[in-house]
Structure 1
């Protein structure tokens, strides 16, 4: 099957810039996948989104959507996009902006009106339809962008910080709608966000980008397993048993620190070593009230990966 998105050695350098905003990135996204793009400010995320949706061509390399040029208007009809910057006519009402957007996409207003009404209701915008767009809050304008992107259900949906400026309720509405269109229509979603937690929850794969280059491309679970670490938090039955737990943990090849009322353990395969450690503690009369396994988050892994990339850049520039 032809991938939904194909990027091959894509490079984008803006005029008068001394570096590539996108620097030789290659990856595929399969149809129906939900993929996140994760990177610090200036990493090239928005530029990559613009290349994929055909807003601008790459300086070199190739980008394709379902095997075709993203600038092809026939392909762009199957594309929905929410960019970081709004492009509404601020002096027109909400409904007029949506009518104009439908016309630009070749959609008859009467044929999509009921769908639009459903989207407006889902995003709590029904009461705003007659308001001038400039009177909407930032979160409402963001939700209106999502409604506009979904005037027809796209085969590919590109989201550049879709929940920026939204409250918790607004973010959950976006999550729920994405669940519905991916499950119901098999829509492929490519999604950038500074909210790492939502990418970890919602994305099957994550592209980690830094300084225009692809650092890693894997599932959130795989990234955490490869670059993260699990920790144990053990609460002893008696406070003075903390040092003894640390002692027995050392014999099991684990590093331990006894804090106030809790012992924190770390080391290779810490969760796998836990049953043996608990058996040893039981044999020696060391009681345990509770055990909690704490895994490194995707945010921790992201910070580690981007820091390592920055260190390599610094070493390379010195050399």
Structure 2
């Protein structure tokens, strides 16, 4: 059985003087090789959670394990972080900053400089090695953070808003490289982002976080189905099929509506009920020309979940 990359049990962090915890009794696990996203408004506890995972902030109570051990020592050597703000010395060159980063991680510059050069080239920074970091653009510094984190391929990579300041091409380049690392090395990813499309594309699971707690844990499709509305648009050969469609829909627990050449179906568990409806219509020899599923966006689902949580407090 593969060991989980991250395991949190009743994990709590309360800062001195704070009236409420920044992380409040979170319990979850991240299997090795999985990619999960943390989605929540500012102040929800996402960054604090990452600090607990990488071991730079101790929990007030509860437990956090990284590959089965406390996040210190050997466990820290197996993870890397892309921070919201770059941990650079602005008055040193790109090369010197990478040399320092390698030293902090116990890496010999002689051994990693070839990899560093390849990563700089990958992120369009090859000609910047001798440039002082303060002369780089915001997007270039962001890409340099990713290079810094990947000087050694970690088992666990924490990404705190990795696309902030990047243009579309830069974002795609980061995504493609992370895809390649996951396929090649079985890398585990935990990242926060305000870009909904980034989490939808790259994460198998999304934890919706609010007020330090996990509101929901599931795939983007599960979250959209639960908090948003899923509809099916069914087109048949004739509007005369309405009676048959309406009857079969109700028998399968769905609500039908006729909207100008389309039968629109809604209801709980629509995805699961739809095959039974199609089978019933086929048995009645109703010619089905097309079926299209539509659902709310992840943004709609996120807003519905967080607003519902606020109203219930």
Q: How would you bin the TM-score normalised by the shorter chain? A: 0.7 to 0.9
TM-score by length of 1: 0.84
What residue is the counterpart of 2:207 in the other structure? 207
What residue is the counterpart of 1:306 in the other structure? 306
CA distance in 1, matches of 2:170, 2:203: 18
Alpha-carbon contact 2:244-2:281 (below 8 Å) kept: yes
What residue is the counterpart of 2:88 in the other structure? 88
What residue is the counterpart of 2:141 in the other structure? 141
Q: In the TM superposition, what are the counterparts of 1:123-162 in structure 2 within 5 Å?
A: 123-162=123-162
What residue is the counterpart of 2:3 in the other structure? 2
SS at match of 1:10: strand
CA distance in 1, matches of 2:263, 2:137: 47
CA distance in 2, matches of 1:281, 1:155: 55
What residue is the counterpart of 1:60 in the other structure? 61
In structure 1, runs of 5+ residues without a counterpart are 314-319
TM-score by length of 2: 0.86
Q: In the TM superposition, what are the counterparts of 1:106-125 in structure 2 within 5 Å?
A: 106-125=106-125
Offset at residue 282 of structure 1 (A): 5.8
Deviates more, 1:76-85 or 1:264-273: 264-273
Deviations along 1:19-52, whole A, 9 cap, x unmatched? 1110110111121111111112211000000111
CA distance in 2, matches of 1:52, 1:164: 21
Offset at residue 255 of structure 1 (A): 4.0
What residue is the counterpart of 2:78 in the other structure? 78
Deviations along 1:109-165, whole A, 9 cap, x unmatched? 110011111111111111222222122221111111011000100011111111111
Offset at residue 295 of structure 1 (A): 2.7
In structure 2, runs of 5+ residues without a counterpart are none
Alpha-carbon contact 2:157-2:187 (below 8 Å) kept: yes
CA distance in 2, matches of 1:310, 1:155: 36
CA distance in 1, matches of 2:224, 2:209: 16
Root mean square deviation, CA, Å: 2.6
Deviations along 1:264-301, whole A, 9 cap, x unmatched? 54334374435656998968xxxx98653213333333
Deviations along 1:218-249, whole A, 9 cap, x unmatched? 233333444444223467999xx6xx787775
CA distance in 1, matches of 2:74, 2:104: 13
Alpha-carbon contact 1:40-1:210 (below 8 Å) kept: yes
SS at match of 2:141: helix
Residue correspondences, number: 303
Alpha-carbon contact 1:249-1:265 (below 8 Å) kept: no
Alpha-carbon contact 2:227-2:302 (below 8 Å) kept: no
Residues 180/304 of structure 1: CA separation in 2 closer, same or farther (3 Å cut): same
Deviations along 1:194-220, whole A, 9 cap, x unmatched? 112221221122212111001122233
CA distance in 1, matches of 2:168, 2:241: 41
CA distance in 2, matches of 1:271, 1:230: 11
SS at match of 1:4: strand
